[in-house]
């Protein structure tokens, strides 16, 4: 008798005893093989997603307890969800160890406090914790709130307490946090995205219009060529990477890795070539030059769909490493000369022949002419022959029938040139016609499971949900704000979708303040804080270090481990009056005041920071949605109760808000209006339901919305969930907390919970979960067809014009009824309608990417322009320049990275992962080991100008010395998963070594390239 596993469960549920199984035809061997399933037969199955990386693998959690009221569920087994279209039942070593995360002995169970100067944690009740924290917050807010600036503009900001938001909490926790933080006037409000993929958003939005991964995990299988550079997908995103292997197996795709180390992706690649860390722009700029010089350009695509033909205004120039407009005293550019030349009607002038000396094409050609193959070898250390091989392979993609993709991650973002690393590759993909194509795109492999979602929700110092901008001091009133943030089209007949900014913004304000936001009070515009400067994580930490911050709330964030220069960070935390951590696990940040010998050498009695440690639920203990790297909002369900007294983030944030509101109602205080007027329509004010918040994220009609094309019809009736963002209004008749999520919970129900994995073509599964925007899976997919509406490649037909509208396997990322003859171009979010090779004034460090050395350079010069070695617009504070090392004292290059068995600093709390990778190590090449007398397994000490770590030495052939600018450069690999909390052997926080400098566009720190010395201990 053959039975499936599910049929077997049903049999078990019918109470058939094991003995009767034999009678039914089961052999004893079969019965034995099903032992585990007997246990599962009594279990509840709950669907969820792995909370670690942004592949977002599906998991099934098995718990005992039938979910009846008062029955305590307990998860005892987790496995991959075979129905999930990306993971298809697979889990990597991190996902496979999830059960050990849920039951980790390092889970927090009760609120605790460490009083100023104390050496111990003390258990307290939730009541006391919330009361004390709310009181401390109010005291600081009242003392330091800034109502007006010196020009009399209402700025309403609170900048003396920092709030760091989580990276893996649900969208619903994120949006509630956003609501409360902004109503308090917080501007020092940032998230993990700042230290990982900030540059992705900046680079991709600047080039294509949106900051997300362009394609999907499964779509990688449609590629003919896969470049992995600035990432190590096999190790950091193992299950997503299987689609690269699928492309190799099913269509013979070529896989090439460019990386400082021969890593695990390289181990399965067709070709590997080395590169010096921090020189990717030199390498990719070389590719741009080679493609132009060898005419390997998808000409029709480039002429129609990029700004190659647009003419740049007079005044723009690049000279000796500096673009026009540089102000040396400020270390900043005046970007006014980086723009188009406009005609009398405000449209950018063009030259379709691409011959005008100031056309983007000619400027780009001249800019990259310096990046010869010889220069690439000189700067990057990559052998010229290797570089030419890769350039040739990429050149083969400049035809409609061949498509290639790029997979990258933090190897590109965590540099002072992070944004421009990505920009260079985005330009290459435009030149090859690979954007919008199945199997193409620029695939930013996001890190944390919901860092995409939390970026979408604008939990960043100068953002609002849906990539709207938080007003700054120059936005003196609503009219000015909307005028400055709503772009005007600069080419005729373009959609310029951001022209709808007023609709998105007013709908957001209606979510914040409900009926209290009216036309007469500019929808509550003055209740939002206005920023005077960016309060990113580096800025906040700097202010803490200067003693100018009072408090810090860390929600699912471990800044002592995650921020650069751990010793500076430790000093910064010690200058705070109070700190709150909200986390399921014990973190190094919460315990920063404890002495752990050399790895955390502090004196508790000298540290006067009061620390509250609040236990929160983990992914398995809550409902909600997280957004994977492909922009899919996936709903997950609670499988068990949290341990001890742990609470959901939503409940903790709500309780804090309610307490603060009570205090302001009773006592008054600094500008309480935004708090007192905040819309709080939740059934249980102290515990809003995820469903309530998810519906708000989508938005609903506040009045009947009449169809402008037919006055007898309604687009939505009052009180209904909105069908999508096209219905949003700027007259207060709609509300939506995040316009790009409109469509995720409609009148038809929760679209994020959909589980139809039917392949609509090319691996596209539009019935699984829901993707922003508008359930489009491949962004810019109009560009997969030629200007006449015919797919460039009939085998990759994604959408096409059927004579009436755009149709196909994906939702058109385009105005669905705009015929090709109308001349609308595919990049609908850009005000030109085309992809940007020249980024006009959108980046802080130039409209074209330029190679600058890392702030700590192992060659001490820049062969392209020796007078401008590193990024002139870099983010650096005065005191940190003195904490930069020089190559004579620190002659080797250090670079940090992740291992497949660990996820940052979380999995060290899970037994399985702790067993798999128990002890801290660094990787050094054989040549360097020999020079320093180090052998396998020796303990070594790594020093940078900022501190040291000790670890075991792994001597390897995987890292070879490179010849750069005539000298030998050794690189050292530093995995970063250890610390002084967890189940692994204790170790040192790797970021002790990293410099406190950031990308000038996004302030993302330079963890990937710094100088160290090494010695045997």
Q: Considering beta carbons, is residue 56 or 564 the nearer one to ligand SF4?
A: 56
Nearest distance from C-beta of residue 52 to ligand SF4, angstroms: 4
- Return residues touching ligand SF4 (CB under 6 A): 50, 52-53, 55-57, 87, 91-92, 94-95, 237-239
- Minimum Å gap between C-beta 904 and ligand SF4 is 11
Q: Where are the alpha helices (DSSP H) in 260-298?
A: 264-267, 280-293
CB of 11 to ligand SF4, least distance (A): 31
C-beta of 53 vs 614, nearer to ligand SF4: 53
Q: Tell me, what DSSP letter sits at residue 186?
A: B
Smallest distance from ligand SF4 to CB 87, Å? 6
Q: Which is nearer to ligand SF4, 326 or 632 (CB)?
A: 632
Find all residues with CB under 8 Å of 972, minimum gap 6, and list them. 892, 893, 894, 895, 922, 923, 924, 928, 942, 959, 1012, 1014
Min. distance of Cβ 785 from ligand SF4 in angstroms?
Answer: 33
State which residue has the least CB distance to ligand SF4.
Answer: 95
Closer to ligand SF4 by Cβ: residue 51 or 699: 51
In the complex, least distance from residue 77 CB atom to ligand SF4, rounded to whole angstroms: 15
If you ran DSSP here, which 8-state letter would residue 209 be given? Answer: S
Q: How far is the CB of 99 from ligand SF4 (least distance, A)?
A: 13
**Torsion sign over Cα 896, 902, 906, 911:** negative
Q: How far is the CB of 48 from ligand SF4 (least distance, A)?
A: 11
Beta pairing class for 404-408 and 442-444: parallel
Q: First and final CA of the chain: distance in angstroms?
A: 65
Judged by beta carbon, residue 540 or residue 765, the one nearer ligand SF4 is: 765
DSSP E strand boundaries for 42-169: 44-49, 58-64, 74-80, 112-114, 122-123, 146-148, 154-157, 161-165
As a whole number of angstroms, the distance between CA 95 and CA 51 comes to: 8
3-state SS of 431-460 is: HCCCCCCCCCCEEECCCECCHHHHHHCCCC
Contact 954, 936 (CB under 8 A): yes
Q: Which is nearer to ligand SF4, 91 or 893 (CB)?
A: 91
Question: Smaller CB distance to ligand SF4: residue 91 or 549?
Answer: 91
* Cβ distance to ligand SF4 smaller for residue 220 or 660: 220
DSSP classification of residue 347: P
Nearer of residues 233 and 654 to ligand SF4, judged by Cβ: 233
Report d(CA 58, CA 50) in Å as an integer.
6
Distance CA 608, CA 644 (A): 29
What is the 3-class SS of 474-493, one letter each residue?
A: CCCCHHHHHHHHCCCCCCCC
Alpha helix segments (H runs only) across 885-938: 911-916, 926-932
CB 66 within 8 A of CB 44: yes
Name which of 55 and 432 has its Cβ closer to ligand SF4: 55
> Minimum distance between the CB of residue 239 and ligand SF4, rounded to whole angstroms?
4
The alpha carbon torsion through 994, 995, 997, 1002 (nearest 10 deg) reads 0
Chain position carrying tokens 């362009």: 214
CB of residue 233 vs ligand SF4: minimum separation in angstroms? 10
Closer of 238 and 773 to ligand SF4 (Cβ): 238
**Which is nearer to ligand SF4, 769 or 969 (by Cβ)?**
769
> Whole-number minimum distance, CB 192 to ligand SF4, in Å?
16
Q: To the nearest whole angstrom, how small is the minimum distance from the Cβ of residue 407 to ligand SF4?
A: 13
d(CA 459, CA 174): 7
Secondary structure, 3-state, 787-824: CCCCECCHHHCCEEECCCCEEECCCCCCCCCCCHHHCC
Q: How many residues does the chain have?
A: 1017
CB of 413 to ligand SF4, least distance (A): 18
Q: In Å, how far are 55, 100, 608, 639 from 77, measured between CA atoms? A: 21, 10, 43, 11
Sign of CA dihedral 108, 111, 115, 116: positive
Residue number with CB closer to ligand SF4 (53 or 549): 53
Distance CA 776, CA 781 (A): 9
């Amino acid at each position: 008798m053959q039975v499936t596993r599910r049929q077997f469960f049903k049999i078990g549920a019918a109470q058939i005893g094991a003995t009767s199984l034999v009678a039914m035809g089961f052999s004893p061997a079969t019965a034995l093989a099903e032992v585990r399933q007997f246990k599962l037969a009594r279990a509840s199955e709950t669907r969820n997603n792995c909370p670690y990386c942004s592949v977002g693998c599906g998991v099934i959690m098995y718990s005992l307890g039938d979910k009846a009221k008062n029955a305590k569920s307990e998860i005892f087994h987790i496995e991959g969800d075979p129905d999930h279209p990306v993971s298809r039942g697979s889990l990597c070593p991190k996902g496979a160890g999830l059960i050990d995360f849920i039951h980790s002995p390092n889970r927090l169970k009760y609120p605790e406090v460490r009083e100023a100067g104390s050496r111990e944690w003390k258990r307290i009740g939730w009541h006391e914790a919330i009361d004390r924290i709310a009181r401390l917050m109010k005291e600081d807010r009242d003392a330091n709130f800034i109502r007006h600036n010196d020009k009399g503009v209402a700025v309403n900001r609170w900048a003396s307490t920092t709030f760091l938001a989580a990276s893996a909490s649900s969208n619903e926790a994120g949006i509630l946090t956003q609501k409360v933080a902004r109503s308090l006037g917080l501007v020092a409000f940032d998230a993990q995205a700042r230290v990982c993929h900030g540059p992705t958003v900046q680079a991709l939005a600047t080039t294509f219009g949106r900051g997300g991964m362009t394609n999907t995990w499964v779509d990688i299988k449609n590629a003919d060529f896969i470049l992995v550079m600035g990432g190590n997908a096999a190790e950091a995103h193992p299950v997503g990477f299987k689609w690269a292997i699928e492309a190799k197996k099913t269509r013979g795709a070529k896989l090439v890795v460019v990386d400082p180390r021969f890593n695990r992706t390289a181990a399965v690649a067709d070709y590997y070539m080395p590169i010096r860390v921090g020189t990717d722009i030199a390498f990719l700029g070389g590719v741009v030059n080679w493609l132009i010089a060898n005419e390997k350009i998808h000409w029709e695509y480039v002429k129609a769909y990029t700004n190659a033909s647009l003419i740049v205004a007079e005044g723009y120039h690049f000279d000796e490493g500096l673009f026009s407009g540089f102000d040396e005293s400020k270390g900043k550019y005046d970007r006014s000369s980086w723009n188009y030349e406009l005609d009398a009607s405000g449209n950018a002038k063009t030259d379709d022949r691409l011959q005008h000396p100031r056309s983007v094409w000619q400027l780009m050609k001249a800019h990259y002419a310096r990046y010869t193959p010889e220069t690439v070898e000189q700067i990057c250390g990559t052998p010229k022959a290797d570089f030419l091989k890769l350039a040739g392979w990429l050149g083969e993609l400049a035809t409609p029938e061949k498509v290639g993709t790029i997979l990258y991650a933090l190897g590109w973002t965590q540099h002072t040139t992070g944004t421009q690393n990505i920009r260079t590759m985005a330009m290459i993909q435009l030149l090859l016609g690979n954007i919008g194509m199945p199997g193409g795109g620029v695939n930013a492999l996001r890190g944390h499971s919901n860092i995409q979602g939390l970026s979408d929700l604008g939990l960043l110092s100068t953002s609002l949900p849906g990539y709207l901008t938080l007003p700054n001091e120059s936005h003196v009133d609503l009219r000015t704000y909307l005028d400055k943030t709503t772009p005007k089209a600069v080419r005729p007949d373009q959609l310029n979708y951001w022209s709808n900014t007023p609709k998105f913004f007013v709908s957001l304000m209606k979510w914040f303040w409900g009926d209290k936001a009216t036309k007469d009070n500019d929808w509550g515009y003055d209740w939002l804080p206005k920023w005077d400067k960016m309060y990113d994580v580096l800025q906040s930490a700097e202010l803490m270090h200067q003693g100018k911050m009072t408090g810090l709330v860390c929600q699912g964030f471990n800044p002592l481990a995650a921020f650069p220069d751990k010793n500076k960070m430790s000093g910064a935390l010690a200058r705070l009056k109070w700190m709150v951590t909200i986390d399921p696990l014990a973190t190094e940040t919460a315990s920063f005041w404890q002495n752990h010998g050399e790895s955390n050498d502090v004196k508790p009695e000298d540290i006067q920071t009061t620390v509250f440690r609040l236990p929160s639920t983990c992914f398995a203990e809550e409902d909600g949605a997280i957004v994977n790297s492909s922009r899919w909002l996936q709903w997950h369900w609670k499988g068990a109760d949290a341990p001890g007294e742990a609470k959901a983030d939503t409940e903790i944030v709500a309780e804090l808000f309610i307490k603060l509101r009570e205090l302001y109602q009773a006592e008054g205080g600094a500008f309480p209006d935004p708090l007192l007027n905040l819309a709080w329509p939740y059934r249980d004010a102290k515990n809003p339901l995820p469903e309530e918040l998810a519906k708000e994220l989508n938005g609903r009609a506040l009045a009947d919305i009449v169809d402008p094309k037919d006055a007898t019809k309604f687009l939505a009736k009052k009180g209904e969930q909105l069908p999508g963002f096209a219905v949003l209004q700027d007259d207060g008749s709609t509300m939506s907390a995040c316009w790009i999520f409109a469509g995720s919970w409609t009148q038809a129900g929760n679209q994020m919970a959909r589980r139809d994995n039917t392949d609509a073509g090319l691996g596209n599964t539009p019935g699984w979960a829901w993707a922003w925007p508008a359930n489009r899976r491949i962004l810019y997919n109009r560009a997969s067809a030629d200007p006449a509406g015919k797919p460039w490649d009939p085998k990759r037909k994604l959408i096409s014009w059927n004579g009436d509208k755009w149709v196909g396997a994906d939702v058109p990322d385009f105005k669905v009824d705009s015929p090709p003859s109308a001349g609308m171009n595919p990049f609908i979010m850009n005000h030109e309608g085309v992809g940007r090779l020249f980024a006009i004034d959108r980046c802080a460090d130039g409209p074209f990417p330029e190679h600058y050395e890392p702030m700590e350079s192992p060659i001490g010069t820049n062969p392209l322009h020796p007078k401008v070695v590193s990024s002139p617009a870099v983010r650096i504070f005065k005191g940190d320049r003195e904490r930069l090392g020089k190559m004579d004292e620190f002659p080797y290059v250090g670079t940090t990275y992740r291992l497949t068995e660990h996820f940052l600093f979380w999995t060290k709390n899970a037994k399985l992962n702790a067993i798999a990778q128990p002890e801290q190590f660094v990787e050094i090449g054989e040549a360097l080991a020999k020079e320093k007398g180090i052998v396998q397994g020796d303990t070594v000490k790594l020093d940078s100008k900022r501190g040291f770590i000790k670890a075991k030495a792994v001597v390897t052939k995987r890292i070879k010395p490179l010849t750069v600018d005539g000298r030998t450069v050794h690189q050292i690999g530093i995995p970063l998963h250890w610390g002084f909390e967890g189940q692994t052997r204790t170790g040192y926080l790797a970021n002790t070594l990293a410099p406190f400098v950031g990308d000038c566009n996004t302030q993302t720190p330079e963890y990937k390239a710094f100088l160290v010395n090494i010695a045997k201990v």
